[in-house]
């Protein structure tokens, strides 16, 4: 029996455009992939509009419950970018122009011969006491306060910021998984799969139906935090699929005879 460490996370995706359908989110799936690889369990995702009350309420609900919270969106220079104000309100601290961020952005615009406008200065605003998240794509930093990591909504910038954050996090025992393709629908496997789940209670066995326009097939996924637990359950699922295949062949042969 080895000790297992569980580290949890939630995501809060912020933006009217995600709820109107105008933008199809790409950050949730990316975060899910990276966290799973890192040994952090993504437990919940919420998408809310660019409304301070909605952001504050969701953030406070999530940050008290999970180890880490990742947000996307609303940290640009326009009037609808209100994430810095909302996060400050959630933590009960002032939202200020961060001096280091002002220097970083001021220098960048000076080098490019561009004016450091009031709008651009908005990108230096963050909750008092927040740390920076580096932005190698377009300089304007994300920020972190408490257990919350506030990142951009543009996928290339979100991904770059996440790359900067991940090495700084505590991680848990990785959830291992084995996927077993199954050419049959869930109705064929439901009963025996349930028996396998009962016999291997330390694993989590999921079955994910796919429809190709004509028929259903299934991907069966066995998950556990150690190979010793995972392997016997995956073997049992594999054997179950082979048994159903053999039974179907026998059935067809006898029907043809």
Restricting to residues 29-68, which ones interact with its own copies according to CB under 8 A? 29-36, 41-50, 54
- From the list 20, 64, 253, 254, which residue makes contact with its own copies (rule: CB under 8 A)? 20
By beta-carbon proximity to its own copies, the closer residue of 15 and 127 is 15
By beta-carbon proximity to its own copies, the closer residue of 171 and 177 is 177
Output the CA–CA distances (angstroms, integers) from residue 178 to 39, 44, 104, 186, 227, in the order listed.
16, 23, 46, 18, 10
Minimum separation from the CB atom of position 43 to its own copies (A) = 6
By beta-carbon proximity to its own copies, the closer residue of 173 and 177 is 177
Site string for its own copies, 205-234 (x = CB under 8 A): xxxxxxx-x--x----x-x-----------
Query: With binding defined as CB under 8 A, does residue 165 bind its own copies?
Result: no
Q: Is 225 helix (H, G, I), strand (E, B) or coil?
A: coil
- For the segment 98-157, give every residue that binds its own copies (CB under 8 A): 114, 117-120, 122-123, 137-138, 153-154, 156-157
Altogether, the residues listed in the chain come to a count of 257
Minimum separation from the CB atom of position 199 to its own copies (A) = 12
By beta-carbon proximity to its own copies, the closer residue of 145 and 188 is 188
- Written as one string, the DSSP assignment of 78-140 is STT--HHHHHHHHHT--EEE-HHHHHHHHHHHHHTT----HHHHGGGEEETTPEEE--TTTS-
Contacts 24+ apart (CB under 8 A), 252-257: none
Query: With binding defined as CB under 8 A, does residue 252 bind its own copies?
Result: no
Report whether 221 contacts 36 (CB < 8 A): no
- From the list 4, 5, 19, 100, which residue makes contact with its own copies (rule: CB under 8 A)? 19
Distance between CA atoms of 244 and 192, rounded to whole angstroms?
A: 10
Minimum separation from the CB atom of position 177 to its own copies (A) = 7
Report whether 150 contacts 71 (CB < 8 A): yes
């Amino acid at each position: 029996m080895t000790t297992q460490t569980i580290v949890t996370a939630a995501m809060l995706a912020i933006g009217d455009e995600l709820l109107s359908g105008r933008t199809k989110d790409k950050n949730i799936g990316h975060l899910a992939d990276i966290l799973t690889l890192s040994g952090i369990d993504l437990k919940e995702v919420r998408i809310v509009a660019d409304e301070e009350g909605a952001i504050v309420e969701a953030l406070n609900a999530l940050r008290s419950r999970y180890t880490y919270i990742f947000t996307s969106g609303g940290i640009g220079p326009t009037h609808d970018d209100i994430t810095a104000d909302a996060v400050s309100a959630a933590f009960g601290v002032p939202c200020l122009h961060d001096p280091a961020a002002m220097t970083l952005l001021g220098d960048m615009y000076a080098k490019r011969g561009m004016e450091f406008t009031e709008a651009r200065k908005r990108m230096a605003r963050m909750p008092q006491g927040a740390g920076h998240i580096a932005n190698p794509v377009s300089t304007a930093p994300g920020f972190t306060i408490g257990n919350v990591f506030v990142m951009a909504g543009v996928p290339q910038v979100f991904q770059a910021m996440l790359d900067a954050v991940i090495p700084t996090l505590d991680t848990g025992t990785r959830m291992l998984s084995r996927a077993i393709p199954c050419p049959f629908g869930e109705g064929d496997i439901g009963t025996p799969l349930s028996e396998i789940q009962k016999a291997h209670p330390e694993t989590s066995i999921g079955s994910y139906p796919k429809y190709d326009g004509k028929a259903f097939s299934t991907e069966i996924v066995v998950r556990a935090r150690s190979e010793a637990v995972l392997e016997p359950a995956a073997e049992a699922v594999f054997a179950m699929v082979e048994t159903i295949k053999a039974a179907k062949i026998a059935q067809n042969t006898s029907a043809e005879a």
